[in-house]
Chains A and B, each alone.
Chain A
Amino acid sequence: MNLYPRKPLSRREALCRIGNGFGMMAFASMVGGSLARANEAGKPHHPPRAKRVIFLFMNGGLSQVDSFDPKPALEKYDGQPLPGGPVATERRTGALMRSPFTFKKYGQCGMDVSELFPMLGECADEICWIRTVHTDIPNHEPSLLMMNTGFSQAGRPSLGAWLTYGLGSENQNLPGYVVLCPDVPTSVGPPLWSNAFLPAVHQGAYISSKTGGKQTAEMLIEPDFDPQKLIFYIRNDKFLLPAQRRELDLLTKLNRMQMAREKMQDPQLEAAIASMETAYRMQTEAPDVFDLRKESEATLKMYGPGSTARGCLMAVRLAERGVRIVQTYYAKGDPWDAHADIQAHRKNAKDSDQPYAAVIKDLKARGLLADTLVVCGSEFGRTPVKEVGGGGGQTQNGRDHNPFAFTMWMAGGGVKGGHIHGATDDFGFKVAEKPVHVHDLHATILHLMGIDHTKLTYRYSGRDFRLTDVEGNVLHEILA
């Protein structure tokens, strides 16, 4: 008899509130793994091509015409006004400006990559290049929010939260969604990895990937590096695990006594008891994953020095252990935001080219690339025209924000390697063919993870919410 099915609580939601995603791993293990029937609902909508995501975020806005989308017309018309008049972006812009960087063709696909990213260029055939991503608003904050949460204002769940909500985590001893950066990235911060109204377990676990030790340019790892200092779930340092074991045993005993005494049958209390055991295990297993000292010298060298490199290597280690999505931000603030001088990209690229390439190579070496989706890019691109006037008249050779077209790339799980998708206009300002809105990108990422983006919904506040709202088309063309 089904007198009053509670409307806002779908079966999936019910499971999510008890366990950890409708992947159901946690819940099944809590109640003895015998929930095979209920588990049906927890399966992805279709067979996934990727099991996990590593999102390398170049916060601030990488210039596409200086990296992955060369425009010979810029050489020719350097210093001349944009035909048809200026396009409104955040700030006042002036004449077209050539790229100061040289380009070279890489791989069998013949992808043009600038001198900023030679090592990534070497991986060109592993990568699916999307040159026509576009977003709505030429300001960091709304665009960062759009890229991360599918909505321009703060307060919606992030891509990562949706993924763990939909799929759970493969490793119950680690958070399903991890965000890495030495210091809080971007001018937005926590709202970018918020669970918003999804259950709290889906919040991104922000972990500072610095340990406070002194780093030098050559140092692959500081002598006083200590993974314990990074860990999110720290061990109780006031007493030891065996002592804690006895606490938990007593607690379980008392809870069972109460249940017997009151002839109680309460799945909530059962779940609470089971979650105690999971929590106990987390304490010992979580620290291990951040211990980069366990990597070989060769691996450390492959990534090179620096905090971006460390974030990348941790991302791979987390992915290896079944964390659903890891976001590694380049560094704190908006470092790619080259308003004043595009040459600022040089340092940023130096820090990220090697580790980004290493992520691809390392995943491949570990046999993980086939089912790990690597996504890389910024919240928007930069204008092919130079910025004028900002900074009190001191701007030199900078570029403004460009929401109309920018390049992102994906690699691994389920996308075509060596594929170049879409084309921008002669100057790289706007999309010429095959536009890809951020919603489309999200739809595609979810699709690759086995989720139909139109079906991953959450009823809150009187309506069904979706990562892609009422938009989003899967980019079937880029699927392998």
Chain B
Amino acid sequence: MSQITILIALVLGRFAIGATTPDWFESKVRPILATQCFACHTASGLGGLRVDSREALLKGGKSGPAVVPGDPEKSLLIAAVRQTTALKMPQGGKLKKEEIDTLVEWVKGGVIWPVTATPVIRTDQGNYRTTAEQRAFWSFQPLKAVEPPAVKNGAWPRTGIDRFILARLEKEAMTPAPPTDRRTLLRRASLDLTGLPPTHEEVEAFVGDKSPTAFETAVDRLLGSPHYGERWGRMWLDVARYGEDDFRSQDPMRLGYMPYPFSYLYRDWVIRAFNEDLPYGEFVKAQIAADRMEGPRVRLLPALGFLGLGPWYYDNGAVEITRADERHDRIDVISRGFLGLTVGCARCHDHKYDPIPAADYYAMAGVFASSEYREYPQAPKAVVEEYKALEKKLKAKEDLLGEFLRTEGKQVSQALALEAEKYMQAAWRIKGEPKQELSKVVDEGKLDYELMDRWLRFLAKPPRFYPYLKDWQAMIERGGTAAEAKKLAGEFQALLLEVMFEKKEIEEENEVIGAKALEGTKKKERRNKPNEFVTNEDFCPGCGLEFKTMAVDRTSLWIDVFQRDLDGSDVTIPSRNAKPGLLSFRGWGLERQLSPERRGFVKALRDGIETARKEMPKPYPYVHGMADLEKPVDLPVSLRGNPNNPGAVTPRGFLSILAPGERLAFEKGSGRLQMAEAIVAQPLAMRVIVNRIWKGHFGTGLVDTPSNFGVTGERPSHPELLEYLAGLFLKNGMSLKKLHREILLSATYQMSAGFSQTNFDKDAGNRLHWRANRRRLDAEQIRDSMLAVSGALDKKLGGPSEPLTPEGVRRTVYAKVSRFKLDDYLQLFDFPSPNLSAEQRFTTTVPLQRLFFMNSDFVQQQAELLARRAGTEQDNRARIGKLYQLVFTRPPDAQEMEAGLEYLRGEPLKEYEERKQEAARKTKEQKPAAGMAAPPEGEMPPMDLEGMMAGVVKGAPGSQEAKKKLLPVTPLGRYAKVLLTSGEFTFLP
């Protein structure tokens, strides 16, 4: 254990950040200088001082050198910010204590100023100029033609990659780890390229293939497998923040979110693009502007899901800000995803580190302000039109029925109001002096039982909301006469009619008010599209209007009689599930009141709707995409990022640092296609994608901040190798498959994970690739691997997403990806948040993951299926052998065999004993409440959970069907589960 502790301490030591690192300078010091000092002490050089380089600080200004490295007490800069002498900086303010401390520490540490970090300088009052230094930053340079370097150990390298890697190792006097064994190599390559483990047969064939090109053959086979796209397409979907819904606040569908039913078209397009090795340039262009590309677009259009699938923020906030937030997402995902530039940082101010002025941000934002959400049907026009026509017909029928019933309801209420006097007098006969039988009164008066019942209850209500029944109730109380009752009933009926007509008039007036003011706004409907939220009225239709109302008492009476029952609660607005008002009838209650002819009419309408529903074809699929607005717009810069605070209008265009001269302006439509073309032309874009692929294979990137190639990002560990790969990539027609192949065939890829203390001491993080990185499998690999070895995996490609359930057997890439509520399983195993572009997966190790392995129905089920595959063997020894073959594609060694045998030997008997003991303990401890009795011995209690986390996390009740499909737990299954959850199975070797 102690050795491990030391090891961990060493590993952790890597992350220590001190006052002398570039990181620390960039995150702590530069922001202070940039925000507090640069305004006066760069180009303007007030007081003769510049503070934007170490040299300038050492040279100092009129008062002498600004800093003495290592000695804060003697440094003028420190005295100035401490404001202990006459020189007080910054003018008119004072730094926070922490900020002063930071500067002191910085000076004490020797005034480090990383050479590559060039400051951004503003000159000429808002005219933004990039300096020559900024333009010289490594990632903005043209691709360099580089040749693989010479190495001492000429026997080791297999490819150009290896020479770069080895040269660097040799420089540090390090040696690469020996090659890994062939079984491990194939396991690594299979999991890496397809996300699935190799079968025993595949391993045997590979190990037996003595040809020198055996691995090449295997790699080609894997790259040719359709499962390659399922694995690597998902890598891109992380970057593309692929999600299948968005949180929507004013939630007319009552789901909490807005689903994008055909989002999978984009996912499948990405998978297909990888499988077909679509040249990367086309891959990029299609995702940004497939609708604007020349030639047949049908196969490219689904790519627009990259933009069309959101995130959209609907009505989740103030309209202007919300729309700006959406544009921000597009800028962020495009700039970081394709270019490794954090353009999003320039939303509120010029980028603090990279040469990206806010004006560039708004030049890009204009492109998205000029584009809108658009659905592209993926079906022939005739099909679409037929569907729409049928849908319209159905809706017309539904509207007709609704309208008819509403009108009838009103008429019934009105008619019944005219009978108020009659029913009140009848009520007097029952509750008043005569005290007659209810049935007698109803029968004699030919009254309606239910209505009479309602009246009796209504008349007895305490007068909480209006005073109109007080007299009546007093009369009943004191035993009033029939004449008195008749008089009061007559008066009440008159009042009801009066209120009814007043309400009607007001409603008509309100309709006029509503119609007038709502002009041009979109009605809030179940399926409002993301582009249907433009004004505040769209956000809350009618909220800005002042409607007329009756007096409070009269409104309450109207509600109580004609709408919903005002009962127990304190409020004058009844709840949705309150009983109907006195004279209000809906549904069957209403239809009962109708004449037979009308009832017949309603039935005919209902039947018609039912038939129309049945006749509706399946909804045709459509791409959630984008289109240009008719009239493109240019946006003003939002000062401090506030859209309500506009600055100068910026023409649509590209990042100025990436253009040789003036900023490239976009004039064709929104400019999306031009933007895409400009991106693909960038060497930077090549570096970024090549680095993503590298990181995907090795776990660390050559630049390990794969979406940040700017000043605050990492410098490449092997700059020349990155140039080499990017150059090769271009030469190979931007083929990703050729790039994979180049990487996999390298000796670097084929190393073992073997440990070397010497190497470890020099490079604990393995950034120089002296061995292979061992990695825990990610969420998809874990689940898919288990399904693969259990034999349950359904290898069908593509199609609509499905929720992850214990009985689900499709690959994990086809699981629903919700922005509203990410699946628990995916979340637990570090699936990235689909709200933001994710540059990499992290790996956490938490107890809940173990609970999932130990208790989930999914893992148990796979283990039982696996056990069945081995169960037919003759004895435990053979069964264990078979399980090892299936799970690890190798035989167990003697120790492992013994451990397995011992486990299985003890199992059944022990379990029986324990169950007996436990049962005895339970009966003693507590008597289970009725209906909750413990399940009988040996029987599996029903599970009440759904989802992959069933058995681990409490969730919605599971379906009965699902329960039936689960296999019973067996000792061999539990043994198989141990193998499935072992380190050997759950780590990438």
Interface residues of A (CB under 8 A from B): 1-11, 13-18, 20, 26, 31-32, 34-35, 37-38, 90-92, 94, 137, 139-142, 145, 152-155, 172, 187-191, 195-197, 199-201, 203, 207-208, 223-224, 226, 229-240, 242-244, 246-248, 250-251, 253-255, 257-259, 261-272, 275-276, 278-280, 282-283, 338, 340-341, 343-344, 346-347, 388-398, 454, 460-464
Contacts and interface: CB of A to CB of B under 8 A. Distances in A.
A2 B316 contact: no
A393 B556 CA distance: 12
Interface centre among A20, A155, A265 (most CB of B within 10 A): A155
A240 B854 contact: no
A462 B705 contact: yes
Interface in B946-962: 951-954
Interface in B892-933: 893, 895-896, 899-900, 903, 906-907, 910-911, 914-915, 918, 929-932
**Which 7 pairs between the two chains have the least Cβ-Cβ distance?**
A141-B249, A155-B835, A340-B573, A279-B850, A389-B547, A11-B15, A279-B847
B569 A344 contact: yes
B205 interface: no
Contact of B851 (A9, A208, A283): A283
B833 A464 contact: no
Interface centre among A195, A230, A393 (most CB of B within 10 A): A393
A17 B569 contact: no
Contacts of A10: 15, 17
Contacts of A94: 546
A208 B953 CA distance: 12
A347 B833 contact: no
B323 to A, nearest CB: 12
B313 A11 contact: no
B116 interface: no
A37 B899 contact: no
Contacts of A258: 982-984
B231 interface: no
B846 A201 contact: yes
B854 A340 contact: no
B549 A462 contact: no
Interface of B: 1-5, 7-9, 11-17, 21, 23, 27, 98, 172, 247, 249-251, 256, 311, 313, 315-318, 321-322, 325, 332, 336, 342, 344-345, 506-507, 510, 539-540, 542-549, 552, 555-556, 559, 569-573, 700, 704-705, 707-708, 712-714, 717, 753-755, 761-763, 765, 767-768, 774, 776, 819-821, 827-830, 832-833, 835-839, 842-851, 854-855, 860, 893, 895-896, 899-900, 903, 906-907, 910-911, 914-915, 918, 929-932, 940-941, 943, 951-954, 969, 974-975, 977-979, 981-984, 986-987
A188 to B, nearest CB: 7
Contacts of B556: 396
A236 B21 CA distance: 50
A242 B909 CA distance: 13
B4 A31 contact: yes
A388 B325 CA distance: 32
B951 A234 contact: yes
Contacts of A272: 776, 845, 849-850, 983, 986
30 contacts: A2-B16, A3-B768, A6-B714, A15-B12, A16-B844, A31-B1, A32-B1, A141-B249, A155-B819, A172-B847, A190-B256, A199-B844, A201-B848, A234-B954, A238-B941, A239-B974, A264-B753, A267-B7, A272-B983, A275-B849, A279-B848, A283-B855, A340-B571, A340-B572, A391-B573, A392-B547, A461-B837, A462-B705, A462-B708, A463-B345
A240 B915 contact: yes
B311 A1 contact: no
A13 B843 CA distance: 11
B982 A251 contact: yes
Contacts of A244: 854
Contacts of A11: 12, 15-17
Given A141-B249, A172-B847, A6 B842 contact: no
Nearest to A16: B844
A467 to B, nearest CB: 16
B510 A344 contact: no
A397 B555 CA distance: 12
Given A199-B842, A240-B915, A392-B510, A462 B707 contact: yes
Contact of B11 (A3, A145, A267, A280): A267
Contact of A208 (B5, B941, B954): B954
Given A38-B12, A461-B836, A275 B845 contact: yes
B547 A279 contact: no
B363 to A, nearest CB: 20
Contact of A4 (B9, B767, B855, B907): B767
Given A397-B572, A461-B838, A253 B547 contact: no
A389 B848 contact: no
Contacts of B977: 247
Contacts of A265: 3-4, 7, 755
Given A254-B899, A393-B510, A200 B763 contact: no
B827 A200 contact: yes
Interface centre among A235, A461, A463 (most CB of B within 10 A): A461
B249 to A, nearest CB: 3
Contacts of A246: 903, 906-907, 910
A263 B713 CA distance: 35
Nearest to B836: A461
Given A276-B854, A392-B510, A462-B345, 18 more contacts: A1-B762, A11-B17, A17-B842, A92-B545, A139-B540, A154-B316, A155-B833, A224-B929, A233-B851, A237-B940, A262-B753, A267-B4, A268-B987, A280-B850, A341-B572, A395-B549, A396-B556, A462-B336
Given A5-B15, A208-B954, A268-B774, A31 B8 contact: yes
Contacts of B907: 243, 246
B929 A223 contact: yes
Interface centre among B344, B510, B572 (most CB of A within 10 A): B572
A5 to B, nearest CB: 6
A125 B931 CA distance: 47
Nearest to B855: A236
Given A2-B14, A201-B844, A254-B899, A189 B855 contact: no
Given A17-B842, A153-B325, A190 B821 contact: yes
Contact of B23 (A7, A201, A267): A7
A9 B23 CA distance: 11
Contacts of A197: 832-833, 835-836, 838
A226 to B, nearest CB: 7
Contacts of A20: 846
A17 B954 contact: no
A409 B247 CA distance: 30
Contacts of A201: 844, 846, 848
B249 A7 contact: no
Nearest to A173: B847
A454 B975 CA distance: 50
Nearest to A452: B98
Contacts of B1: 31-32, 34
A392 B558 CA distance: 13
Contact of A91 (B9, B543, B705, B708): B543
A384 to B, nearest CB: 18
Nearest to A223: B929
Contacts of B345: 462-463
A283 B854 CA distance: 11
B15 A14 contact: yes
Given A154-B316, A226-B929, A243-B914, A7 B336 contact: no
Contacts of B953: 232-233
